[in-house]
Amino acid sequence: MSIYLINKICYLAEHDPELREKLRRDPAAAIAGFELSEEERSAFLRGDVAKLHELGAHDYLLGHLRRYELLGLTREIYTRRMKTAQSK
Partner 1 sequence: MAEIVAAFGVPHTPMAPGLVEREGPNCETARLFRAVAQHLEAVGPDILIVFDSDHLNTFFFNNLPTFSVGVAGRTEGPNDSNTILTRRPVLVSADLSNQVYRFGVQQGFDLASTQEFEVDHSIMVPLHFLTPRMQIPIVPIFINGLAPPLPAAKRCYALGDAVRHAVGAWSGRETVAILASGSFSLEVAGPKEGVTDQEWMDTVLTSLAAARAQELLEKATTERLLAAGNVSGELLNWIALLGVIGNRRPVFLEPQHGHAYAAWRWDR
CA dihedral 29, 31, 37, 40 (to 10 degrees): -100
Q: Shortest approach of partner 1 to residue 29 CB, angstroms?
A: 24
Residue 8 binds partner 1 (CB under 8 A): yes
**Residue 7 or residue 45: which is nearer to partner 1 going by CB?**
7
CA dihedral 18, 54, 73, 20 (to 10 degrees): 0
Which range, of 23-31, 32-40, 80-88, touches partner 1 by CB under 8 A?
A: 80-88
The one among 9, 23, 61, 70 contacting partner 1 by CB under 8 A: 61
Residue 67 binds partner 1 (CB under 8 A): yes
For residue 39, count other CB atoms closer than 10 A to its CB: 13
